[in-house]
Structure 1
Amino acid sequence: MRKNLVASVLALTLAAWSVGGAQAQSITQALTAAYNYAPDLASAHLAAKSSAENVALARAGKLPVIGASVGSTYDWSIAGGDFTDSTLSTAGLSYNQTIFDNFKTEAQIEAARAGAEAAEYQIRNTEQNVLLAVVQAYMDVLSNRQLVALRQENVNFYQAQLQSAKDRLDVGEGTRIDVAQAEARLAQGDATYRASQASLEISQATFARYVGAPPQNLDASHNYSRLIPNSLQGALSEAETGHPAIMLAKAAIRAAQAGSDAASAAFGPTATVSGQIGTALSGTNALQGISGKLGFSITVPIYAGGAIGAGVRQANLDQIKSEVDAMSAYDQIREAVIAAWAGIQSADAQISAATAAVSAGREVLEGTIQERDLGTSTTLDVLNSQAELTTARESLINAQTNKVIATFSLLSSMGRLTASNLGLPVEVKTAVQYNNAVEDVWQELRTVAE
């Protein structure tokens, strides 16, 4: 039986080696593939570009609107048996511009810029969520593969014990109770093995959803623990000053404040200038000269059915809400940092305890098997010792998995689980360059001219 135990342990070791072999798919490779593939990240990137266009739309509020028009009319009439007709063709240019709107446009531009900045931070926040989900899926596959191998070994052990019990019964050294107990444990072990296979299939499907490809041989080793500060206070300080969710909340406050200013500006006057210049050509090709006009107007709202007041109240409420949301984000980040830090400490303790339990469990199992062979222990004692050893080994697998996930969770809660911080070999998704491009408000005019 000792030989069977050693063979089983060796088989599990070889299985674990094949999972993390020399050509293993590392966490870095999985994160890189997911970063380039993730639809959620691509969507956030496009949303940030779309948000940047609000800056151009806002800046258009006080820039001129220039248009050209060409038209022609044909008139005819019949009177007293006489037919007359005429053609008039016109061409002209128009110019309209708001030169003052009580600083409403300036507030709208500031709100749009803050919104574009918030959208950029949303990319980073989505990036962190995606990468953390990838790590969780990665470790689920790896731990489930280890559990499948472990539970397969468990089934093999119970099969050996059942055969041993039958052999002992045949020679008169055992009982039918031993056989029944071994059969029951084998059935239970087989059910647990099949459940672990189902969990593995689900985790592999989740991995493929994030990474865009099925998992290969996985290797959980990494060097990202170097990014973690030496103290909880250091982790909290980094999170409070650099987490994208907090920066996003601050940008949202700026946008809401600017929105409130824009709403209040609606009570003030608006000054506009307009002009037109054009010419007409009659049906006889006679040029009728060039004409033009220039206008200036100032409008002051007096009553708008309550719309202006409602807009101001709504904007003020949105500003208060943005500040409350920022407080909530701040508290959530602090909670996440503390939870992740505690998770690492807890996982370390669990690994130490599980490692000791596995070592002791193997000694107990070997000793119980020897005692059973000598007649001082029963088959049930052996089965119970195997169950305790299996539980300890499962605890060790789960603790090691939790340690990796807690490490990356801490990086995420600190705002450092990004492609740049991890040094992933990817082109970082950002809308900053696009934001700078849309600030060129005359690009549209040049495009038309070209």
Structure 2
Amino acid sequence: MKKPSLILLLLAMPISACTTVGPDYAAPGAGALGVPGAYHAEQGLAGSAEELAQWWTVFDDPMLNRLVEQAVASNLDLAVASARLRQAREAVVQARAGRLPNVGASAGAGQDLDSDGNSRTNLSLGADASWEVDLFGGISRGVEASRADAEGAVFDLAAVQVAIVGEVATNYIQARLAQQRLETARDTLRIADENLEIAGWRVQAGLVSSLDSEQARAQRAQTAASIPGIESDFAAAAYRLAVLTGQAPGALTASLAAPRPIPAGPDTIAVGIPADTLRQRPDVRAAERTLAAQTARIGVAQAELYPALRLTGDIGASALSIGGLVDAIAGGIFGGLSQTLFDGGRLRSQVRSQEAATDAALATYRQSVLVALEDVENGLVALDAAKERQQQFAIALDAANNTAILARSQYRAGLTDFQTLLEAERSLLSARDGVDSSRAEQALALVQLYRALGGGWDPLAPDTGTAA
């Protein structure tokens, strides 16, 4: 019995290495996905990978650089994604273990007593092993699926990092915008105080009615009322930045309190071709890895339709003394084939279920590609629109500032009414706020575009690999 089993074991090893059921995965090419050769709003050649990986440095803002570094090091969402990556890598180790035999050992000792009160010691040692031969590649396909899942977890982690970096930059820009708007509101409040004082003097002098002073008082109150809301916007952005960097809300408020200008990046950036974006976007690459994993699981399900070969063996000894254990060793090897003959169609249904899941994964992958291209196109349009708005608001601010200066001087001289001054002041406030908002919009459009391109992580970094 031992020789046939040993021969069966030796024959099974090459068989298990060359027979693998299920489709072999090949990633769909850009042509199959309908990826165009260029973006609708072309911006030139591709930029460097280093710039895209650390795009926030183009704003040349040391505080923003520090906040991004803190977020990458301490953000808790990244910590969760990192833990899931470690879990996925351990799943690869567990799947590989299916290729190897399971070996166990046992030992025992007992004391026997007879009716005369005599005793004797019984000792035993044993070992057993079992191995399921991967005849049709089910285990190999399982390893393939686990490896693809682990690679997908790498890209999931990168996608979280891309999102976190973008959110840090967004909230930082919003915090600086709030500071600029607060400065504008306080300047306007000082002017409103002066207007109220001038109107009061003119009313006392009998030059105008009390209508002017009441309008000035209303304008002053409305300006003052806007300040708490702007302060709340700044506080919310500062609190969010603290949480993004793994700290309690309020931890960064003091360090952000000193006003700084809204970060200004380049007017244009090189986006390259759509195929470059697919390689850079981690969410797209994660979707592709999910497709690879689901394709491999078709083979796992198909392998269940075929016979399974399991080899088992054991060896043991028992004796009355330790020295006698080597004199009574026995063991055996057994190989058995099993095949499901009837299960009501369950196994074939599992194959069809995995094929459906693969179709869904392919559709999800194609959708992620289209969304990525849409994000880039929207980012390009938003950047162009923000630049145009900023140019027009600059013209509006210059005109509104000149108008306000003339209106103030004419009102003091009694050459115009307060309503004209009031309209000029409102136009100036609107123009200043528009300039600040358009600067922030351009910076936010850059953030949107860099994020759409998948910037914020390095695809070539060592920690983006998976366990071999």
CA distance in 2, matches of 1:24, 1:238: 28
Written as runs of structure 1 = structure 2, the 5 A alignment for 1:101-120 is 101-120=135-154
CA displacement at 1:139 relative to structure 2: 0.5
Of 378, 387, 391 in structure 2, the residue corresponding to residue 348 of structure 1 is 387
RMSD: 2.3
Query: Secondary structure, in 3 states, of the residue corresponding to 1:26?
Result: helix
The 1:171–1:24 alpha-carbon spacing in structure 2 relative to 1, beyond 3 Å, is farther
CA distance in 1, matches of 2:263, 2:192: 33
Kept in 2: contact 1:93–1:277 (CA 8 A): yes
Written as runs of structure 1 = structure 2, the 5 A alignment for 1:220-299 is 220-221=262-263, 228-229=269-270, 234=272, 236-282=274-320, 286-287=324-325, 289-299=328-338
Of 160, 164, 177 in structure 2, the residue corresponding to residue 126 of structure 1 is 160
The 1:336–1:402 alpha-carbon spacing in structure 2 relative to 1, beyond 3 Å, is same
Residue by residue, what CA displacement relative to the aligned partner does 1:163-221 show, whole Å, maximum 9, x if unpaired?
Answer: 11111111112210001111111111111111111111111111111134514344554
Query: Secondary structure, in 3 states, of the residue corresponding to 1:271?
Result: strand
- Identity among equivalent pairs (%): 19
In the alignment, what sits opposite 2:187? 153
Written as runs of structure 1 = structure 2, the 5 A alignment for 1:37-436 is 37-76=74-113, 78=115, 82-83=116-117, 85-211=119-245, 212=247, 213-214=251-252, 215-216=255-256, 217=258, 218=260, 220-221=262-263, 228-229=269-270, 234=272, 236-282=274-320, 286-287=324-325, 289-304=328-343, 306-418=345-457, 430=463, 432=465, 435-436=466-467
Kept in 1: contact 2:291–2:362 (CA 8 A): yes
In the alignment, what sits opposite 1:33? 70
Kept in 1: contact 2:99–2:139 (CA 8 A): yes
Kept in 2: contact 1:26–1:221 (CA 8 A): no
Which letter maps to 2:430?
T
Kept in 2: contact 1:64–1:97 (CA 8 A): yes
Which letter maps to 1:60?
A
The 1:431–1:366 alpha-carbon spacing in structure 2 relative to 1, beyond 3 Å, is closer
Kept in 2: contact 1:86–1:283 (CA 8 A): no
CA distance in 2, matches of 1:96, 1:420: 41
Kept in 1: contact 2:198–2:412 (CA 8 A): no
CA distance in 1, matches of 2:61, 2:279: 37
The 1:352–1:324 alpha-carbon spacing in structure 2 relative to 1, beyond 3 Å, is same
The 1:167–1:391 alpha-carbon spacing in structure 2 relative to 1, beyond 3 Å, is same
Kept in 1: contact 2:123–2:322 (CA 8 A): no
CA displacement at 1:319 relative to structure 2: 0.6
The 1:60–1:346 alpha-carbon spacing in structure 2 relative to 1, beyond 3 Å, is same
Identify the range of structure 1 (154-163 vs 347-356) with the bigger mean alpha-carbon deviation: 154-163
Kept in 2: contact 1:236–1:414 (CA 8 A): no
CA displacement at 1:374 relative to structure 2: 3.0
Kept in 1: contact 2:135–2:308 (CA 8 A): yes
Query: Secondary structure, in 3 states, of the residue corresponding to 1:273?
Result: strand
CA distance in 2, matches of 1:65, 1:303: 29
Identify the range of structure 1 (303-312 vs 93-102) with the bigger mean alpha-carbon deviation: 303-312
Identify the range of structure 1 (99-108 vs 335-344) with the bigger mean alpha-carbon deviation: 99-108
CA displacement at 1:416 relative to structure 2: 2.2
The 1:117–1:419 alpha-carbon spacing in structure 2 relative to 1, beyond 3 Å, is closer
Kept in 1: contact 2:177–2:437 (CA 8 A): yes
CA distance in 1, matches of 2:165, 2:349: 42
Residue by residue, what CA displacement relative to the aligned partner does 1:122-141 show, whole Å, maximum 9, x if unpaired?
Answer: 12111110000001110111
Query: Secondary structure, in 3 states, of the residue corresponding to 2:189?
Result: helix
The 1:379–1:419 alpha-carbon spacing in structure 2 relative to 1, beyond 3 Å, is farther
Identify the range of structure 1 (103-112 vs 378-387) with the bigger mean alpha-carbon deviation: 378-387
CA displacement at 1:149 relative to structure 2: 1.2
In structure 2, stretches of 5+ residues that fail to align are 1-59
TM-score, structure 2 normalization: 0.80
CA displacement at 1:113 relative to structure 2: 1.0
Kept in 1: contact 2:264–2:439 (CA 8 A): no
CA displacement at 1:150 relative to structure 2: 1.0
Query: Secondary structure, in 3 states, of the residue corresponding to 1:279?
Result: strand
Which letter maps to 1:163?
E
In structure 1, stretches of 5+ residues that fail to align are 1-22, 422-427, 440-450
CA displacement at 1:305 relative to structure 2: 5.4
Identify the range of structure 1 (209-218 vs 100-109) with the bigger mean alpha-carbon deviation: 209-218
In the alignment, what sits opposite 1:446? none
Residue by residue, what CA displacement relative to the aligned partner does 1:395-423 show, whole Å, maximum 9, x if unpaired?
Answer: 111111111111121111111232679xx
Which letter maps to 2:313?
G
TM-score, structure 1 normalization: 0.83
Which letter maps to 2:270?
P
Query: Secondary structure, in 3 states, of the residue corresponding to 1:95?
Result: strand
The 1:284–1:221 alpha-carbon spacing in structure 2 relative to 1, beyond 3 Å, is closer
Which letter maps to 1:359?
D
CA distance in 1, matches of 2:458, 2:93: 29
CA distance in 2, matches of 1:262, 1:129: 34
Query: Secondary structure, in 3 states, of the residue corresponding to 2:415?
Result: coil
CA distance in 1, matches of 2:265, 2:433: 25
Kept in 1: contact 2:302–2:351 (CA 8 A): yes
Query: Secondary structure, in 3 states, of the residue corresponding to 1:298?
Result: strand
